[in-house]
Amino acid sequence: MPAPRSRKTAAGASRAAAKRNPRPAASAGRDPKPVAPAKRDPKPATPAKRDPPSKTPPRKEPPKREPGAAARASAPPTRARRAAGPAPATPRQARRAEATERAARESAQRVHDAAPALPENIALVLQGGGALGAYQAGVYQGLFEAGIAPNWIAGISIGAFNTAIIAGNPPDKRMAALREFWDTISRPNIFPATTFGQEARFDGIDADTRAWLDTWEAWRALIEGQRGFYQPRAWLGPDPSLWAGGQPGPAAASFYDTSPMIATLERLVDFDRLNDGGIRVSVGAVNVRTGNLEYFDNTQMRLDARHILASGALPPAFPAIEIDGEFYWDGGLVSNTPLSQVLTASPRRDTLVFQVDLWNARGEPPQNLLDVAERQKEIQYSSRTRLITDTQRVFQHYRRLLRELLEEIPEDVRASNPWAQHAAELACDRRYSVIHLIYRDRAKIGHFKDYQFGRVAMREHWLSGQGDIARALSHPDWLQLPQGESAFVAHDATAP
């Protein structure tokens, strides 16, 4: 049969040629090792002189400056401000990281080319959401690379932790500190990470296998805890006071011990800088006794690791944190976003707000009990952010309307009439622009997505944040305050 013999001869010739001209090892059945782009240097390359002056006075009464001078570095080369995000571990992640990075460079260049006059007050508002908080780190990286430096950061729960890391480090070290923080808490507390540093082997796996991986990582978070964050109290042994029928007390009435996070914050955060470094910091927590949401603000008190940890003390997993004789739980029990705190602060100022949400209020009807648990969290912790922005838009419209009406009243009447004086206190002609980012990409891991701290998921969250802020910054006009009769505008940067 000549045909088969011909094929066999051709195959033999091919093998002989292969022996004479061997191919590189990378093509011999193994994926080539991805080479990270040279521009993704893990060390922040930002010179200190390009960032807002470190001698900026505390935020109690900020001095008058030219618009945008306190918020945007004037140094031009965008590449010099680039910081390291999570290093890609696989060819697929490398391609995605490269595309995200390219979009970030283009968006940052658009911002520099447009050179918008940013308002004096730029606020970064960070919602709570546990492991999903790596998304916020990616968003901040995009702002950092574009030269946009918020001078007010407000956070709740994991948003408060990110707030402390950013405000408690000099500008040229913030990205490195964020990387170290998330690298630490994404490791299980006892045994090595599931991926053993070989995330490449878990990239591109099918949906069912990935679901098992996510479930396994969440189970480990429950059983082992997370390094530098929390550990199960069972590993610490029983409390001797309980043997005699005693009560653990509010500081120990929890499944986990969070003292490791105190050590992590004190290691990564310079609290002297956080309190005096020129960035206003506000973190929210719930007073256990009164049930009221309170904000710890560095313009009113000196903050330490306890204030940050109190904002993320979600019961019954984590214990209440005692501060000045009162005990506090996670601020998300009342409101998971500090947006209202920023928009209603007095005195009012023209403000550009980056609102970074980790929970999407909109979603599909659940099909099973696990879907029900996930959808419940999404609705509960999204904290009606859209309602807040809509309400504030109406309030600001009325404040400006009142201001315009007062201009029609004679000055002597305004000075003597108590109602006119009260109206003047309520009136306001300030303008607000809110850029709203909601984590949608790869956010549907399951009902445990807020405590699934696996390293594969953490990298995905981070890159999603980078991609979303790049899309937002591709509209430099959004950085401008509203003009005309409108005094409040909101942009949905991640709308499908």
Tell me which of 51, 330, 450, 468 is the catalytic residue: 330
Look at the block and give the residue holding tokens 């504030």.
392
Amino acid in position 88: P
* In contact, 448 and 370? CB cutoff 8 Å: no
What lies within 8 Å, CB to CB, of 142 at 6+ separation is 104, 107, 108, 465, 466, 469, 470, 473
The answer to whether 157 is a known catalytic residue is yes
Q: Interhelix angle for 158-167 vs 174-185, to 10°?
A: 140
DSSP letter, residue 204:
T
CA dihedral sign, ordered 302, 304, 306, 310: positive
Nearest-angstrom CA–CA distance, 361 and 379: 5
Nearest-angstrom CA–CA distance, 288 and 485: 43
What lies within 8 Å, CB to CB, of 177 at 6+ separation is 165, 166, 168, 169, 268, 269
Tokens linked to 456: 């594969």
The answer to whether 330 is a known catalytic residue is yes
Nearest-angstrom CA–CA distance, 23 and 471: 41
Closest C-alpha among 458, 470, 466, 467 to residue 180: 458
Nearest-angstrom CA–CA distance, 187 and 230: 11
Helix (H) or strand (E) segment spanning residue 313: none
b/e for 133-150, b at 16 or more Cβ within 10 A? bbbbbbbbbbbbbbbbbb
Nearest-angstrom CA–CA distance, 491 and 475: 10
Nearest-angstrom CA–CA distance, 338 and 332: 9
What lies within 8 Å, CB to CB, of 114 at 6+ separation is 476, 477, 479
Look at the block and give the residue holding tokens 């430099």.
476
Nearest-angstrom CA–CA distance, 280 and 52: 14
Look at the block and give the residue holding tokens 């998300």.
332
Nearest-angstrom CA–CA distance, 462 and 213: 19
Amino acid in position 421: Q
By annotation, the residues acting in catalysis are 157, 330
